Structure 1
Amino acid sequence: MYFCDKVLIVEGKTDKRRVEEVLIEPVQIICTYGTMGIEKFDEILEQLNGNDIYILSDADKEGRNIRKWFKKHLSESTHIYIDPKFGEVGRCPRDYLANVLMRHGFYVDTSLVMRGKYNNEERTKYDRSIQYNPI
């Protein structure tokens, strides 16, 4: 088992699967299943354990509502946004999602980043910085 110091909160199972396809580091991924309320929020808070919290929700009404909860009640969380043209995290192309997560300090599969929008000079810089060796 790996120690993970990051918690990524997503809306649903397809979002979680898509994120797992691009990450190469252990990250605790929590699903809200598209809704947020006091009970759900309390359940999530119990799982955080002082870790860095990232919110990655869809670019729709439900996603905005989830972000509001975390901005109001957990202001130290970091919000990661996707381009609204994809609508849902689960529908984002893997290379796009890898680039977005990498910009927020996550270790991702560099073969996905190479197909992304970065040029060769930037790729070389990121390839050197994205070498992950689990303990």
Structure 2
Amino acid sequence: MNKDMAESKRILIVEGLTDKIQIEKIVTDAITIICTNGTLGVEKMEQLINDFQLDDCDVFILVDEDEAGHKLRKQLTIELPHAQHIYIDKTYREVAATPEVELATALVSKHINVDPIYLI
């Protein structure tokens, strides 16, 4: 684990790399963004929890509003009941396809700092 991950006590879990890239443009907080690349098996889930010490962090879940996203959100909710959920409007379906202003507003609602230019 690199130094930034060790220092960051806030974790945002997303599905894919395009989601991560979109959010990294917007967020100004020191927050570690983890890509699951879809649903997780038991072993991969345990490794994720251990590697990032997710039981000891503020965890946020932001996934697509589709069947795969709902399945992942449900799985993460069981494993990380303390996680806070961030939702996008169902009309956009995918995090990566959600307008930046919408993502920024959703992130700010969970006290995650964003570049103010995305709130205009």
Identical positions, percent = 35
Report which of the two structures shows the higher radius of gyration computed on alpha carbons: 1
Per the alignment, in what secondary structure is the counterpart of residue 91 of structure 1?
coil
TM-score (norm 2): 0.89
- Aligned CA RMSD, in angstroms, stands at 1.2
Structure 1: give runs of 5+ residues left out of the alignment: 116-135
TM-score (norm 1): 0.79
Aligned mate of 2:98, from 89, 92, 111: 92
How many residues matched? 114
Any residues of structure 2 matched to 1:20-59 within 5 Å, and which?
20-49=24-53, 50-59=56-65
Cα shift readout 1:31-68 (whole Å, capped 9, x = no counterpart)? 11012220221121013321101110000011111111
Moved over 6 A (4+): none
Cα distance in structure 2, aligned partners of 1:45 and 1:102: 25
* Counterpart amino acid of residue 73 in structure 2: R
Report the counterpart of residue 84 of structure 2 in structure 1: 78
Per the alignment, in what secondary structure is the counterpart of residue 112 of structure 1?
helix
The answer as to whether partners of 1:36 and 1:65 remain within 8 angstroms in 2 is: no
Structure 2: give runs of 5+ residues left out of the alignment: none
Report the counterpart of residue 102 of structure 1 in structure 2: 108
